[in-house]
Structure 1
Amino acid sequence: MSGTVAPQVTLLMGTSTKPTVPHISEGDEVFMKCQINANPHTYVIQFFFNGTQIVDNSDGVFINNSSLVIKSVRRHHSGRYQCFANNSEGRGDSNELSIFVTYAPVCQTHKRVFGAALGEKVKIQCRVGAEPPDVAFQWTVNNNELLGSFQSFGLESTLTFVPKTKRDFGVVACRAKNGAGVQRDPCVFSVVAAGIPSPVTGCLVVNQTSSSILIDCISGDDGGLEQAFHLELYEGYGQRRMVSNHSQKHRAEFKLTGLSSGTQYLAVIYASNGKGRSAPIELTVPTLALLNRKFVADSPHTDDISIVLAAALGMGLAKGVVGKALQRPAIEC
C-alpha cells in the first residue's frame, strides 16, 4: 500500500472448526478476525460487544492481537460485535457482526405447589426460554403423558388439570423442544389434595403488662398447603372497634403492643391458606391496670395490696385462657 492511510477494518466470523457456519449453538467455539489494511501499521486494536469494550480473558472470551475467541459460547454471548483499529492517521471502525446462539428450551417458571380437591379444575402455566423460539410442549402427570388438555402460545403453555382420583395428585411436569434440542430439566409442579386449615387451639396469654400482651397458640392441620396465622384485635362491646391486625407465617404467636392499660380486648385468631380461612377463635385479653405508685408506697397495708395485685394478675391470666370459636358451640382453646 503506497502512502499513508487510516485503517480500513473488516470483522470476519466463523467457528474454529467450521469457519463459515451460519448457526451457532451453545458450547461451540467462536472465532472472529479483525482484518486490517493500514499504512502505517496499526498499534491499537479493540473489540466491542453491544457497544462495550471487551476485556481479554473475561467470561470465556480471549483476545490475541487481531483475533477474538469465545471458547464455549453461551446464550448471553448473543449480540453485536465490532472491532476498531488505530494508527497515526486515525481510527478505522469495522462492520458490526451479530451472532445468535441457539439453545434448547430452559424453564423460566418457578416451582409451585397447587392445592385442589377431587374434581376441582387447576390451571398450571409453564414458560420457557429458547432460541429458536418455535417450540413444542409436552405435559406429564406422575410420568404419564397428558394429551389434549393444554394450550400453547409461543413460549408459554397452560395445562387445565382436574384430579379425578387420589392417584391423580402428584408431580406435574412440562417439557419443551425446539430445533436446538429437547429441554434437559423440565418445569416441575406439585398438585396436592388440599382444603382450608383447621382452627388454632390451646391459645394462652403467656405474658401480660399494662401496655402489651403476648399470645401463643397451637397450629392445626394446614389443609395440605402452607398456612399463615392472623389476629384481629378489637376494643369495646357491641359496636366493636378494630385496634390492629397481625399476620405470622411460621408460628401462631402474636405480640400486641401499644395498648391501653386496664382495658379488655377481644382477639379473633384464625389460620388461612390458598383455599380459604379456618373457623376463628375468640379470646378475651385484658391489660393490667396502672396503680398510683405514691398511694402504694404510703399505704400501711402494702403487703395486702401486693396480695390483691397478685390475685388480680392471676384472674387476668386465667381469663385470658378462655376462648371460643365463632359459629361453634364450644372449642377448647
Structure 2
Amino acid sequence: MSFVPTLDDDGKPLVCRAQNPNVSALFLETSWLISVVYPPVVRLRLGSSLAAGDIKEGDDVYFECHVRANPPARKLSWLHDDLPLVHNASARVFHSNQSLVLQKVTRRSSGRYACSALNAEGETVSNELYFRVKYAPSCRSGGVAVVGAARGESVVIVCEVDADPPAAVFKWKFNNSGETLDVAADRYTSNGSASSLKYTPVADLDYGTLSCSASNEVGSQLAPCVFQMVAAGKPHAPRNCSLWNQTADSVEVSCAPGFDGGLPQRFLLELYSGDDTVPRVNLSSSEPVWTVRGLEWDVRFRLAAVAVNAKGRSPPALLDDVLFRDPEKRTAGPRREIIRPRIHQTANVKEIMCQSQIALECSSGESSYDTTRPTRASARASVTVRHDISHSCATTDE
C-alpha cells in the first residue's frame, strides 16, 4: 500500500485489519499513530473582544498568533511594517505566549502586523493584518508660524492638520492682546485636512495672533495651530561689510545684519567679474558671513551682499573692485595689505575719516585704508566699497 499523509493526518492512527468475510465479528488488526512533520502553519487575528474599526489613540489592544506545527514551534516573532517588534515594557509592547499586547496605542502604532513561527522544518510568516488607529486632529507643523503682511496687503493663511478620520470642523480665532474674537465661518474655507483664511490687516489692532483648531469623530484638537501676524516688508541691506582673513586666493566677507523687515531672513553673497550680470558665485548663509575661495589674481571682482525674507530681497551692499595681486609681481618698497575696508553709512562718518588722516588718505572722494602688517606669502587686494551712497571714501591699492 502506498500512502501520502497530509497535515490533517498528523496524530491519527493508521490501522491494518484482517477479517474473514464469513465471520464478520472476528478480525485481527494492528495500528500505528502517524506523526506528520511539517513547517508551522500560522494565522494572525486581532483580539476576539476588539472591533477593528473602533480603535483610537489611548486604547489597549492585543493580537493572537495561532500556530500549528510538528515538531512544535521553538520561536515566535512579531513584525510591524516588516520590522521586528520586540518586547519593550517602556514602549508598552508585551509578548505573552502567542499573544502581542499593545498598551495605550498611538497613531504610530498603525500599520501592517504579522507573526512568524520557526521549527525544525522551516519558518512561516502569517497573513498581514492592517491595524488602524484613529486619532483627533493635531497641527501638522509645530511651533508658531510668523506671517508678515503690510497694511492693506492680503495674505492667505493655510492651517493643515493630521487626523484620522479627516477633520470635520475647523474654527479660527483672533487675539490682539486686548480681546479674543471668533472668525466668521464665511471668511475661511475648509477641505479635508486643511483650512484657508484670507486675511487683510488694515490697522495696528489687526496685528496679533490667529489660531486654528479642528475636530473629528474622535475628538477636538488639544493645541491649536498658531500664526503670529506681524507688520512686515523687505529687509534692509546688510551693513558695515568688511574683508577679513585674506589669503592668496580666498577672502572672508563679514557684514552686520540690517533690519529683517519683521520676518526671518537669510543672506546671500554674489560675486561678479567684469561687466557680468550673472554671478559667478552665489553663497547662502543664515548669518552675513561668507568665505569666498578660488579667486583669481589680477581679476577685478564685485561682491554684493543681500538679505532675503519672505517679502523679497534687500538692496545690495556692494564691494567694488576687489583685486588680488600676484605676489611675484610686486615691486620693491613697503608692502601693505588692504583687507578690512569698512562700509560707511553717512557722509559725517566719511568726513571724519577723511579729516583724521590717520592711516587713511581721502582725495576726490577716494581713500586708501591699511589695517594689517605686511606678510611674506599673502597676495594684495584693493577694494572700493559702496552702499547706496553717491559720495564715498573708497579704498584703493597703494
- Cα distance change, pair 107–262 in 1 and its aligned pair in 2 (3 A): same
Shift of 1:195: 0.9
CA RMSD of aligned residues (A): 4.0
Q: Any idea what the Cα deviations from partners look like across 1:239-262, whole Å, max 9, x if unmatched? A: 456563343434333443333334
Check conservation: 2:273, 2:280, Cα contact below 8 A.
Answer: no
| Corresponding residue SS for 2:134 | strand
Check conservation: 1:102, 1:131, Cα contact below 8 A.
Answer: yes
Shift of 1:224: 0.7
Match of 1:166 among 199, 204, 207: 204
Q: Any idea what the Cα deviations from partners look like across 1:4-31, whole Å, max 9, x if unmatched? A: 688887655448xxx3445122111113
Letter in 1 for 2:386: G
Percent sequence identity over aligned pairs: 34
Q: Any idea what the Cα deviations from partners look like across 1:236-291, whole Å, max 9, x if unmatched? A: 3xx45656334343433344333333444333333222212222333334435335
Could you tell me which residue of structure 1 aligns to residue 135 of structure 2?
Answer: 103
- Cα distance change, pair 36–245 in 1 and its aligned pair in 2 (3 A): closer
Shift of 1:37: 7.6
Whole-Å separation in 2 of the counterparts to 1:163 and 1:57:
52
Q: TM-score, normalised by structure 2?
A: 0.64
Could you tell me which residue of structure 2 aligns to residue 70 of structure 1?
Answer: 102
- Cα distance change, pair 226–331 in 1 and its aligned pair in 2 (3 A): farther
Could you tell me which residue of structure 2 aligns to residue 279 of structure 1?
Answer: 315
Letter in 2 for 1:320: V
Structure 2 spans left out of the alignment, 5+ residues: 1-9, 13-34, 340-358, 360-366, 371-381
Letter in 2 for 1:28: D
Shift of 1:225: 1.3
Could you tell me which residue of structure 2 aligns to residue 204 of structure 1?
Answer: 242
Q: TM-score, normalised by structure 1?
A: 0.75
Could you tell me which residue of structure 2 aligns to residue 26 of structure 1?
Answer: 57
Whole-Å separation in 2 of the counterparts to 1:183 and 1:323:
53
Match of 2:87 among 56, 61, 65: 56
Could you tell me which residue of structure 1 aligns to residue 187 of structure 2?
Answer: 149
- Cα distance change, pair 65–288 in 1 and its aligned pair in 2 (3 A): closer
- Cα distance change, pair 212–173 in 1 and its aligned pair in 2 (3 A): same
Check conservation: 2:137, 2:220, Cα contact below 8 A.
Answer: yes
Letter in 2 for 1:144: L
Whole-Å separation in 2 of the counterparts to 1:177 and 1:183:
6
Matched, 1:137 2:170: yes
Question: Could you say which structure has the greater relative contact order, defined with CA pairs below 8 angstroms and 6 or more residues apart?
Answer: 1
Matched, 1:317 2:369: yes
Whole-Å separation in 2 of the counterparts to 1:21 and 1:79:
16
